[in-house]
Amino acid sequence: MSHFTIYHNPRCSKSRQTLALLEENGVEPEIVLYLQDSPSRDELKSIIGKLGITARELLRKGEDAYKELGLKDSSLDDEALIDAMLTQPKLIERPIVIHADKAVLGRPPENVLELL
C-alpha cells in the first residue's frame, strides 16, 4: 500500500487504536511522534489544508495550555493559533493520518478507513 503517515502519541488510547486499525488493514505507516518531532509551520499548514479544517478546529481545547494561552479568544487568527501549536505541540489534536493529499483525524479511529 502507498505511503501513510500518522502523527502519533503512544500515550493516547485513540492514537494507539488508530495505529492498530491501520496495521490490521495492512498499512505500515511512517510514525511521527509529534510531541518530540513537531511539525514545521509549513507542515502544520499543509496538514490543516489536507484535513479541510481551520487551525482552531485542530486545537485540543481541554489542554491546560489552551486556557493558559487564552486561545479561546475568537479574535486570534490562524497564524496565532498555529504559533501556539508550534510552541506547545500537545495542543495539536491527535492522531492525524495522512495519505497522499488527504488527511483525517483518528477520532474516532474508524475515520482512517476513508483513506484506505
**Structural domain for 68, as ranges:** 4-115
Alpha-carbon torsion angle 18, 19, 20, 25, nearest 10 = 90
State phi, psi for 59 to the nearest 5 degrees.
Answer: -75, 140
Of 2, 9, 12, 67, the active-site residue reads: 12
12 assigned to active site: yes
User: What are the tens digits of pLDDT across the range 4-49?
Assistant: 999 999 999 999 999 999 999 999 999 999 999 999 999 999 999 9
Question: What share of the chain has pLDDT > 70, as a percent?
Answer: 99
Q: What is the CATH number of the domain that holds 31?
A: 3.40.30.10
Instruction: Look at the chain and report how many structural domains it folds into.
Output: 1
- Pairwise CA distance, residues 14 & 23, whole Å: 14
